Chains A and B, each alone.
Chain A
């Protein structure tokens, strides 16, 4: 079966760095997405990785290792507004998105 695993909840301090991991097992692979979702709102796109390596975009970076079925989202210089759920999703062989359950990130002052 298809499976996406990510931690349920993480806590970090304002100004610090946090890494949210995601492991996946899917039928085929056409890319991995990270989305941010604030409570009561729709997800917003953060990053897309289809090749191995690190993609950096401002304070956010995303890494992918296809051989390991592994990705992480790295958030630097954490701000209180970064408190949200972070969803990992994989596009499978049919380009259907398989979603992880999301990681709730709590930022403390």
Chain B
């Protein structure tokens, strides 16, 4: 199956700093990528949908100026958590759709962010 690589898998940062998370589709072109956040013992919460070459669509309650998403190419999307705070500590997961296929979303490995 298709592979989505997410980096880094774990990151610890100081409060007030910014963290960038990368999501790459390794063997297919991802026209659409999704960014999710998952708190302990909870399900995935969609943060935003990004389409290559256009601005991301953010879900209600997600601050677009705090969670910057860039989808500059068909194989790379980045999520930057700006001015991180301890409450931003969470598991962030990206997923990608291949071209026009909607039958399966391929997930990255996830990034465990801890803000201290």
Contacts and interface: CB of A to CB of B under 8 A. Distances in A.
Nearest to A87: B43
A42 B43 contact: no
Nearest to A91: B102
A43 B112 contact: no
Contacts of A99: 43-46
A13 interface: no
A97 interface: yes
A38 to B, nearest CB: 11
B43 A96 contact: no
Interface stretch (B12-20, B76-84, B103-111): B103-111
Interface secondary structure of A, over-half rule: loop
A96 B42 contact: no
Interface string A27-45: 0001101000000111111
Given A99-B43, A99-B44, A43 B107 contact: yes
Interface of B: 1, 6, 34, 41-46, 49, 91, 93, 97, 102-110, 112
Given A30-B102, A42-B93, 18 more contacts: A31-B102, A33-B105, A40-B91, A40-B110, A41-B110, A43-B93, A43-B107, A45-B104, A87-B44, A91-B102, A95-B102, A97-B34, A97-B46, A99-B45, A99-B46, A100-B43, A101-B42, A102-B43
